[in-house]
Amino acid sequence: MRSLDSNEREFSSNSSIVDLFMDAARRFPEREAVVGDGGTVLTYEQLNDLSNQYANHLRSIHSTADNFVCFLGPRCVESIVGLLGILKSGAAYVPLDPNWPYARIAGILSQIGTDRIMHTRASKDLAFGFVGNQHPVKHLVEVSLSQHQTERILKVDYDQIELWDEISSHDDLHKASGFNFSKSGSILPDHQIEKYRDHILELVGPVSMGQKILEIGCGAGLILRSLAKLSGSCVGVDPSRVAISRLMKWSEDQNISMTTHCCFAHEIGQIEDTVFDAIIISSVTQFFPNLDYLFTVIEIAGKLLSPEGRLILADIVPPGNSDIPGLTSVPESFINYVVFTQKNWREA
Query: Is 6 domain-assigned?
Result: no
Q: Binning pLDDT at 50, 70 and 90, where does residue 159 land? A: low
Q: Binning pLDDT at 50, 70 and 90, where does residue 144 land? A: confident
Q: Within this chain, do residues 131 and 214 fall inside the same structural domain, yes or no? A: no
What is the phi/psi pair of residue 62, to 5°? 65, 40
Q: What is the pLDDT averaged over residues 287-293?
A: 74
Query: Is 193 domain-assigned?
Result: yes
72: pLDDT strictly greater than 90: yes
Q: Within this chain, do residues 199 and 337 fall inside the same structural domain, yes or no? A: yes
Q: Within this chain, do residues 119 and 40 fall inside the same structural domain, yes or no? A: yes
**Lowest-confidence pick of 7-21, 200-214, 300-314:** 7-21
Query: Is 99 domain-assigned?
Result: yes
What is the phi/psi pair of residue 157, to 5°? -85, 100
pLDDT of residue 70: 93
12: pLDDT strictly greater than 70: no
Average pLDDT across the chain, whole number: 78
Percent pLDDT > 70 in the chain is 76
204: pLDDT strictly greater than 60: yes
Query: Is 167 domain-assigned?
Result: no
338: pLDDT strictly greater than 70: no
Q: Within this chain, do residues 184 and 128 fall inside the same structural domain, yes or no? A: no
Q: Within this chain, do residues 225 and 105 fall inside the same structural domain, yes or no? A: no
Query: Is 158 domain-assigned?
Result: no
Q: Binning pLDDT at 50, 70 and 90, where does residue 11 land? A: low
Q: Within this chain, do residues 17 and 148 fall inside the same structural domain, yes or no? A: yes
pLDDT of residue 327: 38
Q: Within this chain, do residues 140 and 188 fall inside the same structural domain, yes or no? A: no
30: pLDDT strictly greater than 80: yes
Comparing 65 with 263, the larger pLDDT belongs to 263
Percent pLDDT > 90 in the chain is 25
Query: Is 166 domain-assigned?
Result: no
pLDDT of residue 7: 61
Q: What is the pLDDT averaged over residues 102-122?
A: 88
77: pLDDT strictly greater than 70: yes
**Lowest-confidence pick of 40-49, 138-147, 256-265, 279-288:** 138-147
Domain count, the chain: 2
Comparing 205 with 38, the larger pLDDT belongs to 205
Q: Within this chain, do residues 215 and 342 fall inside the same structural domain, yes or no? A: yes
Q: Of 152, 168, 191, which residue constitutes the final position of a domain?
A: 152
pLDDT, one tens digit per residue, over 174-202 is 777 766 544 455 566 778 788 888 888 98
pLDDT of residue 319: 61
Q: Of 152, 170, 205, which residue constitutes the final position of a domain?
A: 152
Q: Within this chain, do residues 195 and 136 fall inside the same structural domain, yes or no? A: no
Query: Is 171 domain-assigned?
Result: no
Query: Is 159 domain-assigned?
Result: no
93: pLDDT strictly greater than 90: yes
Write the CATH number for 55.
Answer: 3.40.50.980
Q: Within this chain, do residues 216 and 324 fall inside the same structural domain, yes or no? A: yes
Q: What is the pLDDT averaged over residues 52-66?
A: 80
Q: Binning pLDDT at 50, 70 and 90, where does residue 78 land? A: very high
Domain span holding position 61: 12-152
Q: Of 133, 152, 171, which residue constitutes the final position of a domain?
A: 152
pLDDT of residue 100: 93
Q: Within this chain, do residues 330 and 185 fall inside the same structural domain, yes or no? A: yes
Q: Within this chain, do residues 191 and 330 fall inside the same structural domain, yes or no? A: yes
Write the CATH number for 201.
Answer: 3.40.50.150
